[in-house]
Every structure is written in structure tokens, then in C-alpha cells.
Amino acid sequence: MTSTRSPTPAARPGVPAGGLPARLRLVVTRLARRLRQQGDTAASPTQLSALATIERDGPITLGELAAVERVQPPTITAAVGRLERRGLVRRDVDPGDRRIARVEVTAQGRRLLEQSRSRKTAYLERTLAGLDPDERETLERAAAILEELLEHDSGKGRP
């Protein structure tokens, strides 16, 4: 399929002033919104993000989870409480220090994450199918660059 997308943002109405940073902010925000809509789960974006982090890094304390998610502890406490009530995570008290609790994902939580990820991936596959090979390659390179930028922002990537 030949693209009809315009490479010049100035020619498009509604393109924010501010160049590349503004365009990236807008397009990433819109893509994130569309992916959230495709996930079609009863969990909020905060809950899904916390659940994914718990799956990746757990068992994890609420303080560690709040730091990774970059939210305040009360926000993560509330989100984890809702996840726990739905049976998506389990809290276990640390046997060495009963003041510390760690959370981990349950089988039901893993199923919810897989369902959400599958729906989002299917949406992206359908969307990307309309691109020509050059456009797909451009997005591959852009994704790699964005990954590096995010790693740098978290202290793991290039200086």
C-alpha cells in the first residue's frame, strides 16, 4: 500500500507548535489512549501498569512498586488494594520482618495481562498492516530510538 501520509507537519491542521517534541507528545498520548481502549479490561491504566510491574519485578514491596511506577505511595496502595480485592495480586508478609509485605501476581492477574496485551497487539498488527515496508522499517528504527531514550531517562542507557 502506498502511503498518503504527509511528511510535513506544518501542512496539517491541528499539529502542535513546538516541533518534534510536541508532535511526539501528541502522537504518543494518542497511541497510548487507543491502546488503553483496545485493552478493554475493567482495570484502570494505573492498575494495569502496576500489575505489569508486579509481574515483571515481583514479589515487590509497595514502596518499591511506587518508586518504579513513579507515583506516590498512597496511589500505589489504593491501586494494589483494588487489584487484591479482584484476586489479581496476592500480598505476602515477609517472614523475616512482618512489617514488610510483598505483592505478586496471581494466575488470574496473569490471564488479565495476557488478554489485554493480546488485544493491544492485535490492534497494532491490524494498524501496521496498512504500511509499506519502508514505513515499517522507519517505525522499527524509531521504536529502537525511543527505547534507548527511555532507558537513558531511567539511568540505564546512554549518557
Q: Report the predicted TM-score, pTM, of the whole model to 2 decimal places.
A: 0.75
CATH 1.10.10.10 fits 41-122, yes or no: yes
For residue 72, what pLDDT is reported? 96
Is the confidence at residue 54, as pLDDT, over 50? yes
For residue 64, what pLDDT is reported? 96
User: pLDDT tens, 86-144?
Assistant: 999 999 998 999 999 999 999 999 999 999 999 999 999 999 999 999 999 999 999 99
Q: How many residues does the chain have?
A: 159
Using a 10 angstrom Cβ sphere, with 0-12 exposed, 13-18 middle and 19 or more buried, the burial of residue 101 is: middle
Q: Quick one: what percent of the chain has pLDDT higher than 90?
A: 72
Mean pLDDT in residue range 39-49: 83
For residue 141, what pLDDT is reported? 97
